[in-house]
Amino acid sequence: MKGLLYFTLLPFLLFSCKPGAEQQDKEQDVQEARGPVARIAVAPVVRRDMTDTVHIFGEVVLRREVELASQFDGRLEGFTLLMGDRVKKGEKLGVIIPPMREALLQVLDQIPADQRSQIAREIKEIPLYSPIDGVVLEVYRHAGDVLQKGEAIVHIGRLRTLDVHGDLPVNHLARVRGLRRIRVDFVNYDHPSMSLPVVAVGGKVNAARQTVPLRLQLDNPAGNFRPGMMVRLTFPGDHHPNTLVVPRAALLEEEGVFSVFVLQEDHTVQKRYVTPGIRHDRYVEIVSGLKEGEQVAVTQTYSLTDGMEVVVP
């Protein structure tokens, strides 16, 4: 009888001593229900001062320029300028020969010698003088061309001192009025950043764009810069002291909606919608949606889902 009982209990004992097979299956089922576990890094929500940076685009322009035009009908003679030539103020650039003088020259030998000088003085050629020191930027007409009154001959600009013009949004007007210098970076031109003095701010508001003109001075003694160059103007904007911030890597954007993943006590992450403020390369201000000290995911953020279990090293 005892032997029968021993052999009856033996299978039960052997079965009950198996290494947690049912428990392992249950844990596996739970794990599968929970989904994959992500290994992430987190960072705390902290406070720090944040200053906005405003960028606007502008253009290098001539401060002083002139388009020299003919004041009379006539033929251009003695004009030899080419693009890039330098001229001095008061320099004679050529002459305009009026039609009456053209006609006089054709019949001059038929006029009595004692009258030629007087007639020639009355019907004179008209000299062209440069009104400024500068560089020839464009040539419109050439020697021998017949001109009409008011027709442009040459465009001359002074390159030694240039301006930088920008359109300043009116909401930044008061702030920029207090600045003496603004940082300028050249677009598609390899030149270090420059800090240029503010010459003028304001003027008439452009009603369509809600901007006012901004003008900076660009000294150009070496001739490195030319009108038409595009620049980016940078100056400080709003300053928010002791504000909540998170690393830039924590912030997600989907069609203009911003969110972060917040680490929970049960080692899951919660998707939290937030309102960002000032944004820098490394940090982002959070206006609403987070509290100081909370931990936010800063790696694999686009792979996370709401409620997902995570492992933090």
Tell me the two tokens of residue 254. 């989907």
In contact, 127 and 98? CB cutoff 8 Å: no
What confidence score (pLDDT) does residue 72 get?
A: 84
Domains of the chain: 34-53+241-311 (2.40.420.20), 57-62+165-239 (2.40.30), 65-157 (2.40.50.100)
Give the C-alpha separation, 188 to 229, whole Å.
Answer: 9
Mean pLDDT of 240-259: 96
What confidence score (pLDDT) does residue 17 get?
A: 47
Of residues 300 and 15, more confidently modeled: 300
The most confident of the ranges 8-17, 33-42, 178-187 is 178-187
Q: Is the pLDDT confidence value at 261 over 90?
A: yes
Pairing of the two strands 161-169 and 152-157 = unpaired
Residues forming a β-bridge with 284: 246, 279
What confidence score (pLDDT) does residue 98 get?
A: 85
The tokens 């050529």 sit on which residue?
94
How high is the mean pLDDT of the chain? Answer: 86
Furthest-apart CA atoms within the chain: distance in Å: 167
Residue 148 binned pLDDT confidence (cut-offs 50, 70, 90): very high
Of residues 29 and 279, more confidently modeled: 279
Of residues 223 and 139, more confidently modeled: 139
In contact, 271 and 258? CB cutoff 8 Å: no
Q: Which of 78-87, 96-105, 192-201, 205-214 has the lowest mean pLDDT?
A: 96-105
Alpha helices (runs of H) in the chain, residue ranges in sequence order: 2-16, 21-34, 99-107, 113-122, 173-177
What confidence score (pLDDT) does residue 76 get?
A: 94
Whole-model pTM above 0.75?
Answer: no
How wide is the angle at C-alpha 24 spanned by C-alphas 23 and 26, nearest 5°? 65
